[in-house]
């Protein structure tokens, strides 16, 4: 399979080493707004660096592409791929706004290509096991979130670009909550500002707390902060009638308690991008769409969930997710 990368920053370099290990993959080309970055990536993994997306796609002729762009930069790449019927994997969040995501979804559906989002947590064995358990015992209460410091890339701290922490980072937890508890109906969010004063251009919330009502009546709270330089971590806890489950860490290790005496522990995988990319590659090769767990058409619902929380942060009012 001939693969191309559009956007060759941090996350592209998390996908590429696993792909490079496979004998069914050839890197044929890259594009990045910063040509030196694109050239360095091509030098490290193969193919050529192209001066535009159109030239990359028309000259390198990839069979599939990885779109690893920041939240504000989506649109041109996905539309160019859909026009040429080239399947793609796009990193989360799929955009920082619904209009762009809807235009892309429409183009993807018109062209009939496979387009998947990088919610890699869905591929973890802990998540698969918990989904089995919760299929007949739905969670009633969820609480979780993402607690840590502010990532270093400049666009992250500018709300207009990244969408803020909920849209860019805690989106993994919002997505996991949706995946395990079903669709969210209503969100109500409050945020904290003014504690981080030392970062130039910083205008995202320092912290937020989002109360969620799910369509089936379950409730939850999802918290975020990028103010904790001492760290904190990632977690999600779910309480059902017959199971109490806690995911912890980026790797989503799970402790599943079914009674005071019965506990199951599942450690998260460290090579999750290889697993996620492997599923996408197999789906492209075989046409078996069941292999991919985060199709674009589903990821757009996680974006709406996160943007509903953002809207509530702005208005101070509860926001129905379907209004987004």
Q: Select 28 or 240, whichever has its Cβ closest to ligand NAD.
A: 28
Alpha-carbon torsion (57, 60, 61, 64), positive or negative: negative
- Least distance in Å: CB of 200 to ligand NAD? 16
Tokens describing residue 239:
């309480």
Contact letters (x/-) for ligand NAD, 136-155, by CB under 6 A? -----------------x--
Alpha helices, H only, 73-226: 76-83, 98-111, 125-134, 159-162, 165-168, 171-181
- Least distance in Å: CB of 166 to ligand NAD? 12
Q: Select 9 or 139, whichever has its Cβ closest to ligand NAD.
A: 9
Q: Does 300 help bind ligand NAD (rule: CB under 6 A)? A: no
Q: Does 215 help bind ligand NAD (rule: CB under 6 A)? A: no
> Please, are residues 48 and 71 in contact by the beta-carbon 8 Å criterion?
no
Is residue 86 helix, strand or coil? coil
Interface with ligand NAD (CB under 6 A), residue from 91, 175, 206, 277: 91
Q: Does 166 help bind ligand NAD (rule: CB under 6 A)? A: no
- Least distance in Å: CB of 111 to ligand NAD? 21
- Least distance in Å: CB of 156 to ligand NAD? 8
- Least distance in Å: CB of 255 to ligand NAD? 22
Q: How far apart are the first and last CA of the chain?
A: 38
Q: Select 69 or 142, whichever has its Cβ closest to ligand NAD.
A: 69
Interface with ligand NAD (CB under 6 A), residue from 73, 189, 204, 313: 73
- Least distance in Å: CB of 68 to ligand NAD? 5
Contacts of 314 (CB under 8 A, 6+ apart): none
How many of the chain's residues bind ligand NAD (CB under 6 A)? 22
- Least distance in Å: CB of 23 to ligand NAD? 25
- Least distance in Å: CB of 151 to ligand NAD? 7
Tokens describing residue 3:
């693969």
24 to 63, contacts with ligand NAD by CB under 6 A?
32-34, 37
Q: What is the DSSP string of 193-209?
A: -SS--SSTT--S-SEEE
Q: Does 118 help bind ligand NAD (rule: CB under 6 A)? A: yes
Q: Select 46 or 151, whichever has its Cβ closest to ligand NAD.
A: 151
Q: Select 242 or 271, whichever has its Cβ closest to ligand NAD.
A: 271
3-state helix, strand, coil in the chain (%, to 5): 40, 25, 35
Helix (H) or strand (E) holding 14: helix 12-21
Which residues pair with residue 236 across a beta bridge?
A: 144, 247
Q: How far apart are CA 235 and CA 124, in angstroms?
A: 14
Q: Does 175 help bind ligand NAD (rule: CB under 6 A)? A: no
Q: Select 48 or 264, whichever has its Cβ closest to ligand NAD.
A: 48
Q: What is the DSSP string of 197-259?
A: -SSTT--S-SEEEEEEEETTS-EEEEEEES--TT--EEEEEEE-SS-EEEEETTTTEEEEEEE
- Least distance in Å: CB of 34 to ligand NAD? 4
* Chain positions contacting ligand NAD, by CB under 6 A: 7-12, 32-34, 37, 68-71, 73, 91-93, 118, 120, 153, 168
């Amino acid at each position: 399979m001939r693969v191309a990368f559009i956007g060759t920053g941090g996350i592209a370099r998390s996908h590429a080493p696993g792909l490079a290990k496979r004998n069914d993959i050839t890197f044929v080309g890259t594009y990045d707004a910063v040509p030196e970055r694109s050239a360095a990536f091509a030098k490290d993994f193969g193919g050529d660096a192209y001066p535009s997306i159109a030239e990359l796609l028309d000259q390198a002729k990839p069979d599939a592409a990885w779109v690893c762009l920041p939240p504000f930069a989506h649109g041109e790449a996905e539309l160019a791929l859909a026009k040429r019927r080239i399947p793609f994997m796009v990193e989360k969040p799929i955009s920082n706004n619904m209009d762009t995501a809807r235009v892309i979804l429409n183009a993807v559906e018109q062209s009939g290509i496979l387009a998947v989002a990088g919610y890699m947590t869905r591929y973890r064995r802990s998540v698969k096991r918990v989904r089995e358990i919760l299929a007949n015992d739905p969670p009633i209460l969820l609480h979780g979130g993402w607690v840590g410091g502010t990532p270093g890339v400049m666009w992250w701290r500018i709300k207009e670009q990244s969408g803020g922490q909920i849209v860019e980072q805690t989106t993994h937890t919002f997505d996991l909550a949706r995946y395990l508890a079903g669709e969210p109906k209503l969100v109500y969010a409050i945020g904290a500002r003014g504690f981080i004063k030392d970062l130039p251009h910083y205008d995202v919330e320092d912290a937020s707390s989002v109360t969620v009502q799910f369509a089936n009546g379950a409730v939850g709270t999802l918290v975020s902060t990028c103010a904790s330089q001492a760290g904190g971590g990632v977690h999600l806890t779910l309480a059902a009638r017959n199971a109490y489950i806690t995911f912890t860490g980026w790797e989503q290790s799970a402790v599943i308690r079914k009674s005071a005496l019965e506990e199951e522990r599942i450690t998260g995988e460290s090579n999750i991008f290889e697993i996620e990319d492997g599923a996408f590659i197999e789906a492209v090769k075989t046409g078996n769409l069941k292999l991919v767990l985060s199709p674009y058409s589903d990821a757009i619902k996680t974006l709406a969930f996160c943007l509903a929380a953002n809207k509530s942060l702005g208005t101070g009012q509860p926001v129905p997710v379907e209004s987004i």
